[in-house]
């Protein structure tokens, strides 16, 4: 399935994707983008953030940008199990998509930051991703006349700082909004928007398959952290969610071992592979994984809702059809 985009501004020249203008209605909650303090950024600030998003000079080797791992034509992911940063080595976790981040309250698979501004600069400073520690990225941009002039115009009291880089990047990322999917139109009353298989999949999604236990709300995520039975050494949320009374022990007590944030399912057909470790290559593999109750049904600490579903192969195909119907139009400023 090909991505569908409505592009606003010169970013269209940088993104290899089809342009589709939506004519159908969308949930109002997905068209009124929230902003910190209720203050929308200026068009110039968004444009600066867009330039920074595709700017490889924000990396230590001048080769890696945010857009390297978050490609618009790949659903704002990159289609790889693990992206490769400035070191040339695969990263530890699969790159998540960037759709509808404006409505998130935590970021990254483990939820270690609580604002989009914090998220925006963390990969720049990460030695494995873009490799620019502390404020070195800001110092580098100060030496580039065009950036120095733009920052000084937009932020006359401070100019190029990591805080202003974060502010601009987050302003752009909040404009990456997907909506107006066939599933939305069906929910709004257009009963022709889904075919019979997708309708059956929708009923399963909301019923016997118990998907809405975690994938709820307009963005199909509860924003919480769950151990779904994906095995491995990555302890996930547990590193940030320790129980205080155990802190004096000589070893950490992990409350949520192998728990990871529930991803939004909007445009999920565009963002393969899946899971925090990229271990499921297709949507059919994903629904098969949950039908079995996770990779290890006996996994210690696994969420109680993750258990065998006893769905048929036809049921699984119907679920995939519904998940594919969550592909909508993406507006990017």
The bridge status of strand 260-261 relative to strand 225-226 is antiparallel
The architecture (CATH level 2) of 182-328 comes to Orthogonal Bundle (1.10)
Average pLDDT, the chain: 87
Angstrom distance (rounded) from CA 69 to CA 98:
11
The architecture (CATH level 2) of 35-174 comes to Orthogonal Bundle (1.10)
**Sheet strand arrangement including 329-332:** 18-19, 4-7, 329-332, 177-179
pTM to 2 decimals? Answer: 0.87
List the chain domain ranges.
Answer: 35-174, 182-328
DSSP 8-state class, residue 58: G
Under the banding of pLDDT at 50, 70 and 90, the label for residue 306 is confident
Half-sphere exposure of 220 (CA within 13 A, CB side): 22
Angstrom distance (rounded) from CA 9 to CA 17:
14
Under the banding of pLDDT at 50, 70 and 90, the label for residue 330 is confident
Contact (CB, 8 A) for 97 and 75? yes
Give residue 255's pLDDT: 54
Give residue 305's pLDDT: 80
Give residue 242's pLDDT: 57
Same fold, 35-174 and 182-328: yes
């Amino acid at each position: 399935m090909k991505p569908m985009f409505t592009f606003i501004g010169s970013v269209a020249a940088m993104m290899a994707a089809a342009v589709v203008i939506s004519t159908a209605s969308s949930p109002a909650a997905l068209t009124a983008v929230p902003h910190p303090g209720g203050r929308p950024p200026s068009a110039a600030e968004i444009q600066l953030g867009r330039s920074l998003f595709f700017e490889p000079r924000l990396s230590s080797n001048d080769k890696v940008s945010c857009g390297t791992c978050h490609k618009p034509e790949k659903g704002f992911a990159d289609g790889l199990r693990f992206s490769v940063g400035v070191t040339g080595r695969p990263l530890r976790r699969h790159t998540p998509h960037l759709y509808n981040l404006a409505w998130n309250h935590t970021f990254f698979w483990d939820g270690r930051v609580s604002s989009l501004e914090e998220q925006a600069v963390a990969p720049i400073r990460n030695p494995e991703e873009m490799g620019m520690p502390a404020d070195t990225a800001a110092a580098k941009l100060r030496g580039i006349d065009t950036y120095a002039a733009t920052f000084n115009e937009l932020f006359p009291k401070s100019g190029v700082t990591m805080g202003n880089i974060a502010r601009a990047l987050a302003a752009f990322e909040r404009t990456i909004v997907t909506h107006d999917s066939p599933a939305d139109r069906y929910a709004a009353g257009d009963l022709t928007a889904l075919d019979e298989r997708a309708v059956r999949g929708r009923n399963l999604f909301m019923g016997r398959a118990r998907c809405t236990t975690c994938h709820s709300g307009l963005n199909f995520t509860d924003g919480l952290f769950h151990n779904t039975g994906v095995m491995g050494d990555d302890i996930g949320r547990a590193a940030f969610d320790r129980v205080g009374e155990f802190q004096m022990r000589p070893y950490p007590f992990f409350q949520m071992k192998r728990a990871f944030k529930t991803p939004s399912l909007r445009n999920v057909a565009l963002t393969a592979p899946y899971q925090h470790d990229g271990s499921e290559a297709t949507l059919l593999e994903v629904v098969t994984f949950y039908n079995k109750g996770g990779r290890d049904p006996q996994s210690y600490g696994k969420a109680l809702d993750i258990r065998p579903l006893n769905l048929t192969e036809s049921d699984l195909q119907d679920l995939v059809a519904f998940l594919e119907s969550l592909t909508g139009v993406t507006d990017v400023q």
